[in-house]
Amino acid sequence: MKKTIKIKPILIFTIIFCICAGGILYAYIGNRPKPANVTQVENALAEQGFQAFNITDNAQNNFPNMGLENCIIAEQDDLYFEFYQFDNVKSARKVYTQAYNKIIGNRTTQRVEFDERKLNYRVYILDVETDYYIAMYAENTAVYAYCDSENSSKINGVLNSLDYIDTGNTDWNSETPFDNIFRVLAYALCISVMYITRIWIWPVVYKSAGVTRKKALELGDDRKEIIPKLIQCSKAPKQTKLFALIQLYIITGLYCCNISNNKLFHR
């Protein structure tokens, strides 16, 4: 008699996958700021008492073939602010990386760091002793700024006006008890789902190929080696491949989400 795959395990598997995928997608792309334009940046700087200078023509030589559209700077006493607008996300991300690498060389044991990232968005802040640094990019725009720590509210005020960061709460970059609780719960959820995926959903994969667990384990030393052979011997290779891919995406997606979407604070 031809073996049939039970619908209930597949249905539960699909529901778990959809919930996890939806949560990961929302965490990664939700609530991202929209890229600001030159006028918005100039107005935000003016609100903080700074005069903006458009140096796009002079800056072109520093960014060859990167699609630089606008470059705005503002400088006053200890404060320095740079804003870049490109015609692509890749160049903005590159400027952020350069600024980040420049900033981290200033870290000391007495420091506060803030790091947040989403799809095409990342902000890194370093507050070390008497100095304050920030590097960020949002879509095709990037910002690099620094000042004395006592004047950090001015830079934050500019970025808050652009909706790049939310400083409405005075403790916006400080940990609360709920941060740790949420972090632990998120981690526990990820580990639980990955565990279920490994010990419960794995049978769905090899059963879809029409083999027993013992037979599947005889095909190789690890699942990376076993799965291609399961697909090859399966009477429904497309179905087996689909289940294997879903299992892989759940494990990989949860692992990456758990690492990359944490806000990191260090003192």
Q: Report which of 49, 48, 53, 95 is spatially closest to residue 73, judged by C-alpha positions.
A: 53
| Amino acid at the residue 9 | P
Among 101, 132, 161, the domain boundary falls at 161
Contact by Cβ (8 Å): 34, 163: yes
Report the distance separating Cα 72 and Cα 59, nearest Å.
10
Residue 235 has what pLDDT?
87
The partner residues of 113 in beta bridges, in order of sequence, read 126
On average, the pLDDT of the chain sits at 80
Q: Report which of 232, 230, 236 is spatially closest to residue 218, judged by C-alpha positions.
A: 230
Is residue 195 assigned to a domain? yes
pLDDT at 246 over 80: no
Higher pLDDT, 73 or 236: 73
Is 46 in the same domain as 118?
Answer: yes
Parent domain of 13? 7-29+177-260
Local confidence band at 50 (pLDDT 50, 70, 90 cut-offs): very high
Pick the range with the lowest mean pLDDT from 69-73, 79-83, 165-169, 251-255: 251-255
Indicate which CATH number applies to the domain containing 56: 3.40.1000
Structural domains counted in the chain: 2
Q: Strand 79-86 and strand 111-118: pairing?
A: unpaired
Is 102 in the same domain as 188?
Answer: no
Whole-model pTM: value is 0.63
What's the chain's length in residues? 267
Token pair of 89 as six digits: 């996300």
Is 156 in the same domain as 181?
Answer: no
| Amino acid at the residue 203 | P
Local confidence band at 262 (pLDDT 50, 70, 90 cut-offs): very low
Among 136, 161, 186, the domain boundary falls at 161
Report the distance separating Cα 134 and Cα 96, nearest Å.
10
